[in-house]
Amino acid sequence: MTDRVEEDKLVQIVTIAWALWCNRNKVRNGRKRKTGMEITRWAATYPAKYTAATESTSFPRQTLELRSLWTPPAAPSFKVNVDGAVFSSQGAVGIGVLIRDDEGRVEGALSKKIMAPLGAVEAEAKAFEAGILFAKDIGIQEFILKGDSTIIYKALCDTSSPPTTVKPVITGMHALEEIPCVIEQAFIHDVIAFSHN
């Protein structure tokens, strides 16, 4: 009985702290501040609502089969996975590179924020470029370069012309021919912005 009371008190304390933190963030982002009484009332009812929602027996819990999507390269090659992200509100993009060997060990990792208002395709192109240059910088010569942009993949494989916004980057990567690499494309489609009228 005492353990259950202690656990309930702990849940209440953590919930109130979380509610205060959420309220502070909302105020920092221009929303209305809640009163202490509003926060306390919400925190008093939230744990019961959460328990009811998560312990519902009306829906059977599904077991997800997790499988590895990453496949290692053949020895002695390396796999260079690249990705780009757009932070439009900051006028910046981020790029990431992860290099692993044939046993899945991480040989190198890179993340970088570029303060430039680039789009998704441009961010992906910069990620591919960073992957090639980073592999070269750490002494890796034979590798598989993999990213999720179909546009950049096709441009690097010379199966389509690159958009003009990334043509100089693609041309620069083609100039690095001394690096023997294979280019793969992850089966994720490029995002194309459109609006419904």
Q: Where does the pLDDT of residue 184 fall: very low under 50, low under 70, confident under 90, or very high at 90 and above? A: low
Q: What are phi and psi of 189, to 5 degrees?
A: -80, 150
Q: Where does the pLDDT of residue 5 fall: very low under 50, low under 70, confident under 90, or very high at 90 and above? A: low
Q: What percentage of residues in the chain have a pLDDT greater than 90?
A: 31
Say if residue 185's pLDDT is above 60: no
Same-domain pairing of 46 and 97: no
Same-domain pairing of 20 and 92: no
Residue 90 domain-assigned? yes
Instruction: Count how many domains the chain has.
Output: 2
Q: How far is CA 53 from CA 4, 38, 97, in A?
A: 20, 22, 39
Could you give the CA distance from residue 147 to residue 159 in angstroms, rounded to a whole number?
16
Predicted local confidence at residue 180, as pLDDT: 53
* pTM, full prediction: 0.59
Encoded amino acid at 133, one letter: L
Say if residue 190's pLDDT is above 90: no
Residue 123 domain-assigned? yes
Residue 16 domain-assigned? yes
Residue 197 domain-assigned? no
Same-domain pairing of 49 and 87: no
Return mean pLDDT, the chain.
81
Domain span including residue 24: 2-54
Predicted local confidence at residue 72, as pLDDT: 85
